[in-house]
Amino acid sequence: MKANNCGHEWIVSLTQQEEESDLDTSLVQVIYDLLEVKNFAIYINKHFDAQIAAQLINKNTTLEQLSAEESLRLVEKLNENKVRITKQSDKVITYIPAYHFGKVIGVIIIETDEELPDRVTMLAVHILNIYANHLSLLYKSRQDPLTELLNRQTFDKKVMEIVSGNGFLEPRSDSKDTRNWYLAIIDIDHFKNVNDNFGHVIGDEVILLVAQLLKNNFRLEDYVFRYGGEEFAVLFQVNSEQECNIALDRLRTNISQYMFPQVGHLTISIGFLELKNMDTVSSIVNQADLALYHSKNTGRNKVTPYSDLDVSEEVTTDNSIELF
C-alpha cells in the first residue's frame, strides 16, 4: 500500500469530484493504489434502490463479471454481514460492502493470494463510506425538489451521454435483443386551467401524482425527468418505434383514466423520437417538441412519433398551448 497519510489525499480526490463518472474513476484509482492489485471489481447501485442491481464500474477488471441477479443476491447477503472473507482454491476472496446510512449500495470484490491486512480493509471501508456519501450528494443534486424526478440539467447530460455512446448505449442487462434509445416529451393538457381554477397547491399535487404515474409506468432503470413546469421527459430503451408507441399510449391511457383529487380526469400529450445520430441536445429536443406540438394541435391526448411528421412543412403552434 502506498503511503498516503491515512488516506487523506484519497479522500480529497473523491470529495472534489463534481461529476459521477469522475467520482467513479477516482474511486477505481484510489482502490488500486490502496490494494496494489488488479484483481478487484467494484459494483455500485447508483439509484440507491434495493430493487436495482449494482453495476460494475471498473469494466477492465480481471475478475469474472456478476450478472444482475448475482449482484442483487450478493448485496442482499452483505446487508447481514460487514466484511466477508472466503477461500476458493488457493485464492482469498474479500467482500467489502459500500454502506450509506446503514444500507449496502455496493461491494468491492477482491482476489488476493493472502488475506488483506486489517488496516487496509478498514481503510477501504472508510473510503467506500466517503464515496457513497459523495455519490448521494451528487444524486440529490440531479433531482427536481418537488417530484424527486431527475432535473433538467441532468437531462441535458444524459441525452449527450446517450448520443455520444459514453456508456448508455449498452443493451439492458436483462435483454437478449439490441434495444434502441427513445426520448419522449410529455405535457399535461390544459394545466393552466388547473392552477387558475384550483390554485397552485393543487397544481403541485397534480404534478406530483403525474410524476408518480410516470415512474410506475416505466422501469426502474429508465430515466424520468421533470423537464420544466408541467412538462416531463423520459429516456428509455425498447426494440422498435412501434413498441415505443405502444408503451407511451399505455401511459397516456393510464393517466387519462386516473381520478385526480378535486380536479378529476386529466390528459397528456406526447411526442417522441428515436435517438440515432450525434446531435445537439437542443436539436433533439426540438424534434421531440415538434411531435408534441402536433399532438397538442390535433386534439391533445395523443402520442405522435417525430417520424410521422412532414418536416418539410413549417409546424406552427396554437397560441392556446400552455408550455409552462
**pLDDT tens digits, one per residue of 93-127:** 999 999 898 899 999 999 999 999 999 999 999 99
State yes or no: pLDDT of 322 exceeds 50.
no
Per-residue pLDDT at 316: 46
pTM: 0.76
Assigned CATH class of 152-308: alpha beta
| Residue 183, Cβ density class (10 Å: 0-12 exposed, 13-18 middle, ≥19 buried) | buried
Beta strands across the sheet bearing 103-112: 55-56, 40-44, 103-112, 91-100, 84-88
Q: Which CATH superfamily is domain 5-140 in?
A: GAF domain (3.30.450.40)
pLDDT tens for residues 129-155? 999 999 999 999 999 999 999 999 999
Contact 66, 87 (CB under 8 A): no
Set of cell numbers at residue 41: 471489481
Question: Could you tell me the residue ranges of all domains in the chain?
Answer: 5-140, 152-308
Give CA separation, 82 vs 49, 79, 122, 123, 234, in Å. Answer: 19, 7, 11, 14, 37
State yes or no: pLDDT of 312 exceeds 80.
no
Average pLDDT over residues 203-223: 94
